[in-house]
């Protein structure tokens, strides 16, 4: 049975969830985190829902075999596809991601909110429910292929991709850009460079970290250890993926 000293599982379709992991480790520095990137099956965001659910179940089996005390789904697509089902089936705390549309709506000054995400995240009922509540002025901006540019650290190409995507919009009329995929958080420096200064750039990482801390405290699962640790794993090629994870973790 997992206890206070057990690790917290964190997973994503690839390396994007490392941006969430960095926030989790800052918020809960005494915890041990086991990060699993399902690189063998990335990307999730352009695949059929049932296929993604199958991959997520495989990852969950792997994490639970390592006695994790909670799991953070550090992927908006996987959260949309699987979180509700996993919570219905498991006693384990399951913390998911949500595009930061609510905080963007609260800061909106009458302009547009551009929501950048994978095609699947924007298509599923979870985002539609969020959009129905907070979507005034919000524009869905699907970004197929952008996640893969982050995975390969092709940041110059990613900048050109974003500049082309934004051409259709008058950025003086945009109040916020929501990063609805954890991979896109690594593009924040580029976005800060190419967007006007008044545009807020928002992601859901801090909110997810706060929610994890709340749930662990409520369940009496916060560790007694003095110092935390991070373990990195991948379903892909460890020789190429793990150094990339280390690099992005330092960047996060």
| Residue numbers annotated as active site | 75, 181
The residue assigned the tokens 């850009």 is 177
For the chain, what's the residue count? Answer: 252
CA distance 9 to 120: 24
Half-sphere exposure of 147 (CA within 13 A, CB side): 31
Task: In whole angstroms, give the CA distance from residue 148 to residue 158.
Answer: 9
Q: What one-character-per-residue DSSP string does the chain give?
A: ---TTSPEEEEESSSTTHHHHHHHHHHSTTSEEEEEE-GGG---TTS-HHHHHHHHHHHHHHHHHTT-SEEEE--HHHHHHHHHHHHHH-SS-EE----THHHHHHH--SSEEEEEE-HHHHHSHHHHHHHHHH-TTEEEEE-TTHHHHHHTT-HHHHHHHHHHHHTTS-GGGEEEEEE-SGGGGGGHHHHHHHS-TT-EEEESHHHHHHHHHHHHHHTT-----SS-EEEEEESS-HHHHHHHHHHHHHH-
């Amino acid at each position: 049975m997992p206890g206070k000293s057990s690790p917290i599982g964190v997973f994503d379709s690839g390396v994007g969830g490392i941006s969430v992991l960095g926030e989790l480790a800052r918020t809960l520095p005494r915890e041990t985190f086991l990060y699993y990137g399902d690189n063998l099956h990335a990307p999730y965001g352009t695949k059929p829902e049932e296929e993604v659910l199958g991959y997520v179940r495989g990852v969950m089996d792997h994490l639970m075999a390592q006695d994790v005390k909670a799991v953070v789904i550090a992927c908006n697509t996987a959260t949309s596809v699987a979180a509700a089902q996993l919570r219905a089936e498991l006693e384990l705390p399951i913390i998911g991601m949500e595009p930061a549309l609510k905080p963007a709506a609260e800061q909106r000054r009458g302009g547009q909110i551009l929501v950048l995400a994978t095609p699947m995240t924007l298509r599923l009922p979870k985002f539609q429910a969020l959009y129905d509540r907070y979507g005034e002025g919000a524009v869905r901006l699907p970004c197929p292929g952008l996640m893969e540019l982050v995975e390969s650290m092709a940041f110059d190409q990613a900048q050109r991709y974003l500049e082309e995507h934004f051409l259709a919009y008058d950025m003086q009329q945009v109040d916020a850009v929501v990063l609805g995929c954890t991979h896109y958080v690594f593009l924040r420096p580029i976005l800060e460079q190419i967007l006007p200064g008044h545009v807020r750039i928002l992601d859901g990482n801090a909110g997810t970290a706060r929610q994890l801390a709340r749930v662990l405290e409520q369940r009496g699962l916060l560790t007694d250890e003095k110092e935390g640790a991070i373990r990195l794993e991948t379903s892909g090629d460890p020789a190429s993926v793990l150094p990339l994870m280390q690099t992005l973790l330092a960047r996060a």
